[in-house]
Amino acid sequence: MRIIRLKDVKHSTGLGRSTIYKYISEGSFPKPVSLGDRAVGWVESEVKGWVMARIEARDVHESLTA
């Protein structure tokens, strides 16, 4: 298991900081893990799973519209 910081989450998803936190507040993005008083990180596999789910949703949508 690996914990990644915001910079890596942004790089992996292509999302900006405010969008990531908006999705977290909506419950549609993995929640960060507290690493200390002012530090958080994300479980890398959860972020990768979120990206894969977006790809799968795209593929299902494309197959339904074809």
Distances (CA, A) of 43 to 26, 56, 57, 60, 62: 18, 20, 22, 26, 29
In tens digits, the chain (66 residues) has pLDDT values of: 999 999 999 999 999 999 999 999 999 999 999 999 999 999 999 999 999 999 999 998 777 776
Q: How many other C-beta atoms are found inside a 10 Å radius of the C-beta of residue 20?
A: 19
Reported pTM: 0.90
Each domain of the chain, given as residue ranges in start order, spans: 3-65
Whether 47 and 13 have beta carbons less than 8 Å apart is answered as: yes
For the chain, the residue count is: 66
